[in-house]
Chains A and B, each alone.
Chain A
Amino acid sequence: MQAFEYAAPSIKQQAVALLGNTWEDAAVFAGGTDLISSMKDNLLAPKRLVDIKGIKELGGIDFTPAAVRIGALVTLEQLLAHPRLGREYPGIIDAAAGVTSPQLRSRGTIAGDLCQRPRCWYYRAGFGLLAKDKDGKPLVPNGENRYHAILGNQGPAYFVNPSSLAPVLIAIGAKVRLYNGSSSRDVPLEQFFVTPKSDAERENVLKPNEIVTDIIIPAIPAGERLSATYEVRQKEALDWPLAAAAVALRMNGGRVQSARVVLGHVAPVPWGAPDAEKVLTGKRITADLAIEAGKESVHQANPLSKNAYKVQLARVAVKRALLRAAQGGA
């Protein structure tokens, strides 16, 4: 690991002032569960780490009549331990519990989950986010692509978004608040993630001199708080999902008034499934309807040479998330 400077500011203005104008200058450091490993592998070599854990205003979970604010530094363990959050947004709890390691949950933060780098093993082995050989040919389409994208993979990006929480946060309409030292901007979470088109781009719109300060979730009226996340994993213990789905339902008289269905780990960004949402609207949730929605959610899938199995896993994830959401909620 390359040596670096370390600073632990106590207010967010100082934190941003300590960041640089390029990604090589400095890195925001919170839970470190991804950053430290990336630095050991020389994927990242920031000259300075700005440890934001001492910034009190970046913590805490606050409920107001209109919204819930979750501070960037709230850990996955703190999400799990928050009774009201669990009652009103059960899909968040499903997703946080999916990180089946208390060691990671006690350190990993909500903003870190959103900002972690892709797990693509070509990227992790130093071939770059767009994973090309020395002649510029993409390595993934004919390579070891069993964990890669089945949607949004027309190139040049083939990795999958690694966030556990993003699908459900998008499904419930979350925004992410970004701060640049003088002003904040709120970005709907589905617009925070982007598919890079060139090596100059990254997988989200965050700039090198910005930090995530808060996640803002609109309040949901009682009786409409149906959400769930379902992950298909190889292991019960700590593992990355092969496919995941999050759903949020608003019901009216036992029928779906509106639905959001968002898939995880199937595309370079969390993948909204509007066709599945259309299938659900106006209907009662049954096992058959959930199966149909699962089919619709991936009907445009374009699997690579070794990951066609993920299409079926994604269908199952959608079905099970829907059935789980329909049972739960307040």
Chain B
Amino acid sequence: MADKRKDKAEETTKAGISRRKFLKGVGVGGGMLGSGVLSGSLLQDGHGAQAAATKVLGPGAVAIELNVNGKRWPLTLEPRVTLLEALRDHLELTGAKKVCDRASCGACTVILDGSPVYSCSVFAIEAQGKTIQTVESLADGDTLHPVQAAFVENDAQQCGFCTPGFVMATKALLDKYPNPTAEQMRLALGGNLCRCGTYVGIRQAVMQAAQNSPQNSHQNSKTRAPQAGRQSRAGGGHSNA
């Protein structure tokens, strides 16, 4: 069966790929749940040996594993599934919100290997092997995380749809700078939008959360974050992700 499919795919690439045939190819791939590799490629490779050295996955669903909130989740997903869709539609973690879905609003913010990212603009398949933290990881049972508690206490939301994204962007900020300057806070939340305009409450919440954060109970002035601006050291230790 696999051989037959391969022959078919090779014929297709020799003839060039029509849209119809391409879609057909997608359908074939879709039937191969969990097999990992589509036998026969959609593309004719110019440099056969080099290209063959890399596994080509999809376009059908492939087995992947995500490390979300400290747990490993096996999934079978097409490469085109975003991390946000994987979280919401496959893991039922609906804290991260799909709003603009275009890397602009921040409602889908999660923390990937320590850095805040727009999960709408990360593919699930490339998030394998990385640590993914969503807003669901913050509360300990009924006890809110200091960032969440500060958002509640400062009335830092109105409709609340942007809130999980702001909370995760804030957590990423405080993980990096437990005592952020006003400038650092402004820069750290610049990638999140609140259409209700609750920014004043949000800024108050961030400052309160900084004071209440567990890291801060034994902070002293020596560990204050540097000033933002040209000389700011905005981070470090990132992968190229």
Residues of A within 8 A of B (CB): 1-10, 13-14, 16-21, 25-26, 29-30, 32-34, 36-37, 39-41, 47-49, 51, 53, 58-59, 73-75, 77-78, 80-81, 83, 86, 90, 93-94, 97, 100-107, 109, 181, 209, 236-238, 328
Q: Is the CB of A238 within 8 A of B38?
A: no
Closest to B176 in A: A102
- A2 to B125: give the CA distance in the assembly, Å: 16
Chain B residues within an 8 Å CB radius of A5: 38, 41-43, 56-59, 79
Contact with A along B47-84 (1 / 0, CB 8 A): 11111011111111000000000000000001110100
**Cα distance A2–B42 when bound, in Å?**
13
Q: Known contacts A37-B121, A40-B102: does B116 contact A106 (CB below 8 Å)?
A: yes
| Whole-angstrom CA separation of A203 from B232 in the bound complex | 33
User: Smallest CB–CB gap between B228 and chain A, Å?
Assistant: 8
CB distance from A165 to the nearest CB of B (A): 15
Whole-angstrom CA separation of A18 from B50 in the bound complex: 8
> Which residue of chain A is the closest to B129 with respect to CB atoms?
A54
Instruction: Report whether A3 and B59 are in contact in the complex, using a CB–CB cutoff of 8 Å.
Output: yes
Contacts of B206 in A (CB 8 A): none
With A4-B80, A37-B103 in contact, do A53 and B42 touch (Cβ < 8 Å)? no
Give the distance to chain B from A108, nearest Cβ to Cβ, in Å. 9
Q: Which residue of B lies closest to A182 (CB)?
A: B47
B positions within 8 Å CB-CB of A:
17, 22, 26, 29, 38, 41-51, 53-60, 78-80, 82, 101-104, 106, 109, 112, 115-118, 120-123, 125-126, 169, 172-173, 186-193, 229-236, 238-241
13 A-B pairs within 8 Å (CB atoms) are namely A3-B79, A4-B59, A5-B41, A9-B53, A10-B54, A47-B43, A77-B115, A78-B235, A78-B240, A102-B115, A103-B106, A106-B116, A236-B190
Smallest CB gap from A96: residue in B: B234
Contact assessment for B125 and A101 in the assembled complex, using a CB-CB cutoff below 8 Å: no
- Picked from A34, A48, A101, A106, the residue with its CB within 8 Å of the CB of B42 is A48
- Nearest 9 CB-CB pairings of A with B: A101-B191, A17-B50, A100-B190, A17-B47, A3-B59, A6-B79, A106-B115, A80-B234, A17-B51
Q: Nearest CB to that of B240 among chain A residues?
A: A73
Residues of B with C-beta under 8 A to A90:
230
Assess whether A53 is in contact with B56, with CB atoms less than 8 Å apart: no
**Chain A residue nearest in CB terms to B190:** A100
CB atoms of B54 and A7 under 8 A apart: yes
Given contacts A36-B103, A106-B116, contact A3 B238 (CB under 8 A): no
* Distance, CA A48 to CA B59, complexed state (A): 8
Query: Cβ of B46 and Cβ of A36 under 8 Å apart?
Result: no
Nearest to A51 among chain B residues (CB) is B126
Q: Contact between A49 and B231 (Cβ–Cβ < 8 Å)? A: no
With CB as the reference atom, state the residue of chain B lying closest to A24: B17
Given contacts A7-B56, A100-B190, A103-B118, contact A93 B230 (CB under 8 A): yes
Which of B47, B48, B236 has most chain A Cβ within 10 Å? B47
- With known contacts A37-B103, A102-B191, A53–B80 Cβ distance under 8 A: no
Q: How far is the CA of A7 from the CA of B42 in the complex (A)?
A: 12
Q: A5-B38, A32-B123, A78-B238 are in contact. Are A102 and B187 (CB under 8 A)?
A: yes
Residues of the B chain whose Cβ atoms lie less than 8 Å from the Cβ of A100: 187, 190-191
